[in-house]
Amino acid sequence: MADTLEIKEREDVVVRFSGDSGDGMQLAGNIFSTVSATVGNSISTFPDYPADIRAPQGSLTGVSGFQVHIGAGQVFTPGDKCDVLVAMNAAALKTQYKYAKAGAAIIIDTDSFGKSDLEKAAFKTEDYLGEMGIDPDRVIACPISTMVKDCLADSGMDVKSILKCRNMFALGLVCWLFDRDLNIAFNYLKEKFAKKAGVAEANIKVIQAGYDYGHNTHSSVANVYRIESKTKVKGRYMDITGNKATAYGLIAAAEKAGLKLYLGSYPITPATDVLHELSKHKSLGVTTVQCEDEIAGCASAVGASFAGALAVTSTSGPGICLKSEAMNLAVIMELPLVVLDVQRGGPATGLPTKSEQTDLLQCLFGRNGESPMPVMAATSPTDCFDAAYDACKIALEHMTPVVLLTDAYIANGSGAFKLPNLAEYPAINPPYVPEEMKGTWTPYMRNAEGSRYWAVPGREGFQHILGGLEKDNKTGAISTDPENHDLMTRLRQEKIDKIQVPDVEVLGDKDNADLLIVGFGGTYGHLRAAMDEMRAAGKKVALAHFKYINPLPKNTAEVMKKYKKVVVAEQNMGQFASFLRMKVDNFVPYQFNQVKGQPFVVAELVEAFEEILKK
Amino acid sequence: MSNYTAADFKKGQPRWCPGCGDHFFLASLHKAMAEIGVAPHDTAVISGIGCSSRLPHYMATYGMNTIHGRAAAIATGAKVANPKLSVWQVSGDGDGLAIGGNHFIHANRRNIDLKMILLNNRIYGLTKGQYSPTSPRGFVSKSSPYGTVEDPFRPAELCFGARGHFFARAVATDAPGTVDVLKEAYNHKGAAVCEILQNCVIFNNGTHDSVYTPTERKKNAIYVKHGQPLIFGENNEFGLVQEGFGLKIVKIGENGITEKDILVHDAHCQDNTLQLKLALMGDGDGFPIALGVIRDVEAPTYNDAVEAQIAEVKAAKKYHNFAELLETNDIWEVK
């Protein structure tokens, strides 16, 4: 984690619009450039016309492309390869896919992928994605022609004219993906078609429809954020998003522990990609059940855990609300369970596609009774792998549910991932009940770490009943005895407190910092960048970034008290700060809180931290 | 032959009220499990919350007495994760059909191999007497002092509506009938709902009086058996025939009716129309209450399909461990 990370915040996005020469790709690309330039991006564009101007419609030689490179900083080229490829027909996909980066999002008009379209584009089968080796998860497949026809059904326009607006639908969708202000596009069109009000109106309507489609389907593109390590270590790398890294971490942990991986889940933005990814890997024995609701997702995982699997449930904040009851059951039954919360904007449905860190206190405390639960937070897309692996290890070895927090930003963001060697990862050894305890074992006997033993059904002589009612510490029978309940409450807490987590590392001027920046989870890259910038300007600044939140690292209080000024910066109203204040006596930090649904902006952080230094 | 006796499945001293229907059912469950012969350590009994959900504590099997309403969902995870387990899910009418209604219908729709026991006493007992989703309209209870103003669920309708493939009914006090139904449920591969009519002596005493004793059952119930004519009555003098869109009671020997005219029960019929009619009889309509296996239709189970798909994909794909999975990605090297 001590890596210096480089965040490319939508700094460098390449979009390639492609379709038939008559599809208006250049207009769509130009409007997108204009919209982006108006908000201060620099742009570079590259029109790529076919050699054969009058090539037949839908043919390979008739494809035209228009590439737009937009950047927050200076952009000098139209970009080598694109992050988003818009392919308005089969021929465009066939010829233009080579310009797409690995992992790029592909937008296609499924209405232009009929049998004859595919033939014209020299596809051999109807599985055009499979033929090109494109992962369907990366494809935003949308019946654009149909939707444009519906959208303009009452316009009085003829079908040919209506279909000329398909480019605007694609543009609207791209504007959704990159949060562009549609009004700029609308004004552009009103000016361009000043004398044809009807055309302007139709185009505007279709842009809005494309934008709304993106909104309604929670369309998003991975790779919009790149979080790269500046220190390149030798080795083999792949590109990975946070959600995929999480899925890989779970798979790796299951393999290491020799257990079946079970995921009980319910689709929810922005966590669904984990369900998608795991569902693909049945050849590794991964079992995924898409349940009837969030409740069943978690409840079935508890059942799977009882039955002996590495059980996981994945969701986002609204799902945590519903899963809390079954999470609590896993607390009292002391069964291993990993609960993944890919945080999004809240409360309630909130901002489904946006990023926040607002579920921390919910995960720490949002359950009835005394319900201690380990909570950890991944710090970058690639760290999601290690964090997921660790969450599984803690859950399995300490017989407890564990919450793993990520967020929409690191879940959809990506980075270069050095291929892990599973042999180098620590062993995972769940406390299976030893055979020699047969006859004397009861369900709440504990090992030295305070963990209950795991007796998996199927083992003869270890039949037992667990449940949501308090149990007698000795016999495992239902008990309402006051002393026993007090004891069990303490034992459950002690077990969590005893979990060993690494000390929090202090980066930067750890001996003489005038300001300690404190953060947790997905904000690491930005806080690190802010610290680096301030230190480069001669300021004495340090950073303590937390991955393990419950239990907190042993050196937490020592670190918090060491510096004259401490600022806790988080994407909520101060949840981690209040948790730290609860755990560290007489600790009153400065706070930097932002709840915009967007990642921090380094310049804003620096400005705020410099203000604190002046105080 | 089974290697087990009922005693091998028994544990502890039940804490239900004396006379509670759950006592009778528990004894039948022990007996049925002994006759089925699956080892106690290969059996899991999973319940929710409520009086009847205490049941796992009296089983010498693996088990969980979980949280309110979630038993079917929890049992689903246990069965999928560990398909060798014989998984029995026990709920009351509140647990299974009110707070757990969603899981009940989806377990049936998915056809996961769970034995779903629904102990129906038409009342919330543990919370001391509120109406349940199976209490009849107008039912007076602590939470409905002027009578309920809503209609009840009929469990069979829910099961059938969710495309359930097995539905049986027994009366808790009828040990042979209950044991028979439980064994049939076990033999059915897939979700198998057994509605057990069970009396709450404290808060809803007498709710199933019309079928609670052998004498009453002779008068008011019909035992249905696949392949057998639907005959009932104290002297087996009545039968069911189809008429128009419904069923009709006829007297054998009257109007030229012979046993040959009586409808023969077909529990295996895919079309559930007549099975549903049988299941809904006895609701003050002059028809007898049907007991026994009403519907028992073979269908692929969810857990088998999950396993088969994994096996199929394993055979088709070239990567089978984490290291091989990594290699399926676009990889570059930093030298």
Residue among B309, B331, B335 whose CB faces A282 most closely: B309
DSSP string, A404-417: EEEEHHHHH-EEEE
Taking one residue from A and the other from B, the number of pairs with CB-CB distance under 8 angstroms is 199
Q: CB distance B63–A465 less than 8 Å?
A: yes
Q: CB distance B12–A284 less than 8 Å?
A: no
Cα–Cα distance between B64 and B41 in angstroms, integer? 13
In this structure, chain A runs to a length of: 615
Cα–Cα distance between B38 and B52 in angstroms, integer? 23
Which residue is closest to A286 within chain B, CA to CA?
B310
Q: CB distance B81–A102 less than 8 Å?
A: no
Residue A38 burial (CB < 10 Å; 0-12/13-18/19+)? Answer: middle
A478 interface with B at CB cutoff 8 Å: yes
* Side-chain-facing half-sphere of B10: CA atoms under 13 Å: 11
Q: CB distance A306–B61 less than 8 Å?
A: no
CA proximity to A15, closest of A149, A130, A167: A167
Q: What is the mean pLDDT of residues A215-221?
A: 79
CA proximity to A458, closest of B203, B77, B41, B240: B41
Mutate to test the interface with A, among B322, B330, B333, B335 (most CBs of A within 10 A): B322
Partnered with residue A310 across adjacent β-strands are A261
Q: What is the mean pLDDT of residues A22-44?
A: 81
Q: Which residue has the higher pLDDT, B249 or A227?
A: B249
What's residue A224's pLDDT? Answer: 56
Inter-CA distances, A191 with A31, A194, A200, A323, Å: 12, 5, 9, 52
User: Which percentage of chain A shows pLDDT scores above 70?
Assistant: 94
pLDDT at A220 over 90: no
Contact A355, A342 (CB under 8 A): no
Contact B170, B146 (CB under 8 A): no
SS (H, E, C) chain B: CCCCCHHHHECCCCCCCCCCHHHHHHHHHHHHHHHHCCCHHHEEEEECCCCHHHHHHHECCEEEECCCCCHHHHHHHHHHHCCCCEEEEEEEHHHHHCCCHHHHHHHHHHCCCCEEEEEECCEECCCCCEECCCCCCCCCECCECCCCCCCCCCHHHHHHHCCCCEEEEEECCCHHHHHHHHHHHHHCCCCEEEEEECCECCCECCCCHHHCCHHHHHHHEEEECCCCECEECCCCCEEEEEECCEEEEEECCCCCCCHHHCCECCCCCCCCHHHHHHHHCCCCCCCCEEEEEEEECCCCCHHHHHHHHHHHHHHHCCCCCHHHHHCCCCEEEEC
Q: CB distance A233–B56 less than 8 Å?
A: no
Angle formed at CA A388 by CA A387 and CA A392, multiple of 5 degrees: 115
Q: Under DSSP, is residue A525 helix (H, G, I), strand (E, B) or coil?
A: helix
Q: CB distance B325–A469 less than 8 Å?
A: no
What's residue A1's pLDDT? Answer: 47
- Average pLDDT of the residues of chain A: 91
What's residue A35's pLDDT? Answer: 83
Report residue A218's pLDDT band, with 50, 70 and 90 as the boundaries. confident
pLDDT at A221 over 80: no
Which residue is closest to B324 within chain A, CA to CA?
A284
CA proximity to A381, closest of A356, A344, A359, A406: A406
pLDDT at A4 over 80: no
For chain B, which domains are there? 6-212 (3.40.50.970)
Sign of torsion over alpha carbons A558, A564, A570, A576: positive
Tokens of B74: 């929890």
Contact A602, A533 (CB under 8 A): yes
What's residue A76's pLDDT? Answer: 65
DSSP-assigned letter for residue A502: P
Q: What is the mean pLDDT of residues A219-238?
A: 70
A172, amino acid identity:
G
Q: CB distance B60–A463 less than 8 Å?
A: yes
Give the closest-approach CA distance of A346 to chain B in angstroms: 26
Q: How close are the terminal C-alpha atoms of chain B, in Å?
A: 68
DSSP string, A295-349: HHHHHHHHHHHHTTSEEEEEE-HHHHHHHHHHHHHHHHHT--EEEEEEE-B-STT
Q: CB distance A457–B64 less than 8 Å?
A: no
The per-residue pLDDT for range A320-377, each reduced to its tens digit, is 999 999 999 999 999 999 999 999 999 999 999 889 999 999 999 999 999 999 999 9
A104, amino acid identity:
A
Q: How close are the terminal C-alpha atoms of chain A, in Å?
A: 30
Q: CB distance A465–B65 less than 8 Å?
A: yes
Cα–Cα distance between A527 and A518 in angstroms, integer? 8
Give the closest-approach CA distance of B6 to chain A in angstroms: 16
The per-residue pLDDT for range A253-303, each reduced to its tens digit, is 999 999 999 999 999 999 999 999 999 999 999 999 999 999 999 999 999
pLDDT at A174 over 70: yes
CA proximity to A464, closest of B277, B64, B265: B64
CA dihedral B122, B123, B124, B126 (to 10 degrees): -100
Q: CB distance A466–B63 less than 8 Å?
A: yes
What's residue A239's pLDDT? Answer: 82
Give the contacts of B60 (CB within 8 A, at least 6 positions apart): A463, B8, B9, B10, B11, B40
Q: CB distance A252–B322 less than 8 Å?
A: yes
Cα–Cα distance between B77 and B66 in angstroms, integer? 13
- Measured in whole angstroms, the distance separating CA A290 from the mean position of its chain's CA atoms is 19
CA proximity to B278, closest of B267, B195, B268, B270: B267
Q: Which residues of A touch B113 (CB under 8 A)?
A: none
Cα–Cα distance between A194 and A400 in angstroms, integer? 66
Q: Among A138-147, A270-279, A544-553, which stretch is predicted with the lowest mean pLDDT?
A: A138-147
Tokens of A131: 């033929």
Strand order in the sheet with A506-508: A506-508, A541-546, A515-520, A565-570, A590-593
pLDDT at A597 over 70: yes
Q: Which residues of A touch B329 (CB under 8 A)?
A: 238-240
What's residue A73's pLDDT? Answer: 66
- Measured in whole angstroms, the distance separating CA A255 from the mean position of its chain's CA atoms is 23
Q: Among A50-59, A245-254, A342-351, A545-554, which stretch is predicted with the lowest mean pLDDT?
A: A50-59
What's residue A53's pLDDT? Answer: 56
Cα–Cα distance between A96 and A566 in angstroms, integer? 51
Which residue is closest to A332 within chain B, CA to CA?
B66
Give the contacts of B16 (CB within 8 A, at least 6 positions apart): B22, B23, B51, B54
What's residue A5's pLDDT? Answer: 59
Q: Which residues of B touch A296 (CB under 8 A)?
A: 70, 73, 76, 102-103, 106
For chain A, which domains are there? 5-216 (3.40.920.10), 234-424 (3.40.50.970), 431-500 (no CATH), 506-614 (3.40.50.920)
pLDDT at A107 over 50: yes
Q: CB distance B70–A325 less than 8 Å?
A: yes
Q: In angstroms, how far apart are the furthest CA atoms of chain B?
A: 97
- Residues 216-255 on A with a CB inside 8 Å of B are 232-240, 248, 251-252, 255
The per-residue pLDDT for range A513-539, each reduced to its tens digit, is 999 999 999 999 999 989 999 999 999
What's residue A229's pLDDT? Answer: 62
Cα–Cα distance between A570 and A589 in angstroms, integer? 12
pLDDT at A149 over 50: yes
- Predicted TM-score (pTM) of this structure: 0.87
Q: Using N-to-C axis directions, what is the helix angle for A182-192 and A197-216, rounded to 10°? A: 160
Contact A251, A278 (CB under 8 A): yes
Residue among A235, A282, A329 whose CB faces B313 most closely: A282
What's residue A44's pLDDT? Answer: 73
Cα–Cα distance between A308 and B7 in angstroms, integer? 27
Partnered with residue B193 across adjacent β-strands are B116, B167
Q: What is the mean pLDDT of residues A492-506?
A: 98
* Peptide bond just before A443 cis, omega within 30 deg: no
Contact A188, A182 (CB under 8 A): no
Contact A138, A107 (CB under 8 A): no
ipTM rounded to 2 decimals: 0.97
Q: Using N-to-C axis directions, what is the helix angle for B101-110 and B71-81, rounded to 10°? A: 30
Spans in chain B with pLDDT lower than 50? none
Inter-CA distances, B229 with A266, B180, B262, B291, Å: 46, 18, 6, 14
Q: CB distance A325–B67 less than 8 Å?
A: yes
Contact A397, A451 (CB under 8 A): yes
What's residue A60's pLDDT? Answer: 83
